[in-house]
């Protein structure tokens, strides 16, 4: 069952189109990612889902409700952490939790929520004294204080160090496991690949692709990356002629080839034929970064959907 449905969403500011016909649905219990570069239209899309902006065209429904005309009802089932959030500097964590709990008819008990999110030790700490990771945990808590069925997290881990980012990822997975649907907005490819059940790639205000992370990666022109330092130079012509090789680059003596499993076999044969040793050999699968670059490249496959998406 879809708990969020967006169809033909359009939004413009002063004649500039920010969102141009975006459509997607989010199943209940999913972590659904909206992925795109800065200015692609991600935040405008979720602000329409949250009821913070009125669409110029198209429809948005959250559990069958219109976020604008049914805004009060939607706020009872949807929690949000905005892209840019601040609290009064002198407000303590406990005061913030108590204040936000007072906004809801049936709030979650804030003490267990604080304990679950690792905030118990900083309940008396003022907002201005919190670390970046602690602030993000607090904003997650405030988004969950109303016991929502859906939570929107917009650029949640921007500015966090790698350890704090991974800790936050674990929290998002725990939120999903508790039965809450998560709409995650991000431009971190690793984050989307780690967390999301499905991802909508938004490019220049349109949905360029919608699939699982693995499905998006499989569309990449380079599903495998082979890199090595040859014991002696190889012929550029032979490298360029490798089957299924999307690109071949040489930097400081290291050869990097984007290709497929067939390309790997051809590289092995080429090295054996010329009695060349591959030093520092690495063979890795393509990542969501590779798929994203393909999907959003000028003149690339952006704007194309699978047959399942068209249906």
Q: Which residues contact 73 (CB under 8 A, 6 or more apart)?
A: 65
β-pair type (181-186, 31-35)? parallel
Q: Domain coordinates of the chain in residue numbers?
A: 2-213, 221-285
Would you say 70 and 27 are in contact if contact means Cβ atoms under 8 Å apart?
no
The CA radius of gyration of the chain, in Å to the nearest whole number, is 23
Residue 299 confidence (pLDDT): 59
d(CA 177, CA 116): 13
Q: How many contiguous H segments (helices) and E segments (strands) does the chain have? A: 12, 13
Region of residue 299 (phi > 0: left; psi between -120 and 50: alpha; otherwise: beta): left
* Tens-level pLDDT at each residue, the chain (311 residues): 899 999 999 999 988 999 999 999 999 999 999 998 888 999 999 999 999 999 999 999 999 999 999 999 999 999 998 877 899 999 999 999 999 999 988 899 999 989 988 899 999 999 999 988 889 889 989 999 999 999 999 888 877 788 888 888 888 898 899 899 999 998 888 899 999 999 999 999 999 999 999 888 877 765 788 999 999 999 989 998 999 888 899 998 999 998 888 899 999 999 999 999 999 999 987 788 878 888 887 755 444 433 333 33
Write down the CATH number for the domain with range 221-285.
3.30.70.980
Output the pTM of the full model.
0.77
- Is it true that 2-213 and 221-285 share their CATH fold? no
Ranges of H-type helices in the chain: 42-50, 71-77, 93-101, 110-116, 132-144, 162-177, 189-195, 213-218, 236-240, 261-273, 288-295, 307-310
CA distances, 140 to each of 13, 143, 171, 247, 310 (Å)? 29, 5, 9, 42, 34
Residue 307 confidence (pLDDT): 31
**What kind of fold does domain 2-213 have according to CATH?**
Rossmann fold (3.40.50)
Would you say 184 and 156 are in contact if contact means Cβ atoms under 8 Å apart?
yes
């Amino acid at each position: 069952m879809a708990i969020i449905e967006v169809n033909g969403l359009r939004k413009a500011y002063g004649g500039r189109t920010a969102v141009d016909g975006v459509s997607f649905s989010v199943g209940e219990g999913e972590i659904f990612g909206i992925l795109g570069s800065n200015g692609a239209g991600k935040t405008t899309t979720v602000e329409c889902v949250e009821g913070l902006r009125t669409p110029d065209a198209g429809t948005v429904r959250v559990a069958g409700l219109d976020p604008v005309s049914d805004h009060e009802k939607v706020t009872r089932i949807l929690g949000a952490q905005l892209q840019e959030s601040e609290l009064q500097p002198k407000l303590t964590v406990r005061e913030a939790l108590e204040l936000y709990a007072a906004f809801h008819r049936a709030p979650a008990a804030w003490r267990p929520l604080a304990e679950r999110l690792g905030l118990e030790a900083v309940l008396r700490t003022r907002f201005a004294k919190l670390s970046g990771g602690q602030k993000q945990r607090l904003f997650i808590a405030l988004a969950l204080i109303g016991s929502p069925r859906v939570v929107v997290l917009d650029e949640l881990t921007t500015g966090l160090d790698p350890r704090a980012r991974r800790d936050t990822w674990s929290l998002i997975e725990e939120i999903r496991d508790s039965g809450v649907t998560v709409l995650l907005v991000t431009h971190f490819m690793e984050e989307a690949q780690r967390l999301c059940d499905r991802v909508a790639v938004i490019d220049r205000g349109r949905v360029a692709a919608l699939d699982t992370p693995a499905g998006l990666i499989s569309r990449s022109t380079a599903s495998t990356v082979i890199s090595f330092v040859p014991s002696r130079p190889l012929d550029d012509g032979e490298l360029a002629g490798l089957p299924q090789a999307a690109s071949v680059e040489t930097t400081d003596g290291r050869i990097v080839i984007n290709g497929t499993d067939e390309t790997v076999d051809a590289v092995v044969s080429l090295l054996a034929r010329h009695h060349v040793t591959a030093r520092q050999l690495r063979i890795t699968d393509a990542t969501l970064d590779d798929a994203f670059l393909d999907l959003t490249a000028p003149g690339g496959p952006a704007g194309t959907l699978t047959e399942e998406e068209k249906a």
